[in-house]
Structure 1
Amino acid sequence: MGELRGEPLTPALIAEIHRIVTEGTLDDPATAGRPQLPGEERVVVMDMEGNVLHAPPPAEQLPERMEALCAFANGESGTSYVPPVVRAIVVHFMLSFDHPFVDGNGRTARVLFYWSMLNQDYWLTEFLSISRLLKRKQAQYGRSFLHCEQDEGDLTYFIAAQLGIISQAITDLHDYLDRKVSQTRNLQRAVSALAGHLNHRQIALLQNAIKKPDARYTVRSHSRSHNVTVQTARTDLQALEGQGLLTRVPEGRGFAWLPVGDLRKVLGLSG
């Protein structure tokens, strides 16, 4: 999505986004990137009991409605000032309401939300997990959509619900970053305590092993990574094995070293 953030929204770009997000998932691959056509039976939104929750506009109206959506998204519709996040939410709603494709409309609408936020320089949006939260709150999402239809198109319900989702996503991101900062600090303290016993190459290897518990290290790979002789690389690895930080296993005609299963615990790291 990042590479498209500077592109103006067009029906062709929406079609391309739909092709990307539905690749390999559609019953009929020929419908990827193609809005429904006049004469085709429109795909409606139904609940688990088969009741129609939303009947989208006729296919004959889709070209004009897609152009209107793009004009609004690009700020070319002549409307008064619209807060950027509200514009992005309304773009999401418009695509979902028009339901132009046979399938994948929800995925396409969520990508358009990201596009709109990034296009308006809200770069942090790229790191927010909106889709995960929407899946957890599908009932709330559906109710907010229906309330808009039942109240003469008042989008307040949908906007309020989406703002709640975005707020939770920001909180989740902050919590994630706090955890990562704490883990990094703990790792730095643990490694610092070993600094008197290990060289900088061994410390770098342990930092990598903490991040990648499934990593495998060989004399050749360690030698290349740090531009040292094979003998020096072997000495480094054997020393870490001797301190109970790596486990040696046969590999081909030689050996590989793996992080011990409880490396974080051995280093005194939490989590």
Structure 2
Amino acid sequence: MTPELIAQALKSLRQQKPLVVNITNYVVMNNTANALLAVGASPIMAHSREEMADMMSFAGALVINIGTLDKVWVERMAFAIEQANANQTPIVLDPVGCGATTFRTETSRRFAALAKRLIIRGNASEIIALAGEKSQGKGVDAQDSSQAALSAAKALVDEYQANVVVSGEVDYIVTKDSVFSLSNGHSMMPQVTGTGCSLSALTGAFAAIGETTGLVAAAVMGVAGEIAGQEAKGPGSLQTALLDALFALDDDTLLARLKLAQL
């Protein structure tokens, strides 16, 4: 994956405007829907079991985010994953707070095992916990470095035949055949709730057009976050600046700012 191919994928997404179904947490529904709209995709924040079979018959991707989990939502999410599998629809799993409680950890592993065309996007502590290793998470926040999660990410690739995106100061994108690092973003981004969740949603948007590594979404979000962080006065204005940066991002800016390396 070259920088030029990343820029081309962004252009293709804006042309195709894929529909992304999000079963996501109450905290970030507005954030993630607006991020998808800003980048050029079409979001729907559906969670009803009664319409999920229909949804998965025409959706481009399914994003599952367990941030505000309960037993009712677990079964709805599992059903949605089954319907996505039946339609060969790519699935993004955001295992929010995996490792914080047994319920979250077991649910994350259940979904990862159930999903077929899977991309896992989480912070370092979530990825480590999902792989069954000891993490240093604090609730939904990561206390581990993204580099410390690399071995866990590789284990998840093998166990679930998934691609894995580890978010952090440096993002790592791990597939069966490659490992990439991205060093964009801004130190203020963790101070705004939902930036990682928005990345998961963008990962679904690019998966819907066939880019299932997670690399392009991480690149776009990282560069947009870097621009937004340089313009914002604080976390409040960062949210607005991030949407504006996603909307305005063009090929030249993306190529000029991208800090991509293959390991």
Q: Fold match, TM over 0.5?
A: no
Structure number with larger C-alpha Rg: 1
- TM-score when scaled to structure 1? 0.24
- TM-score when scaled to structure 2? 0.25
Higher-RCO chain (CA-CA 8 Å, sequence separation at least 6): 2
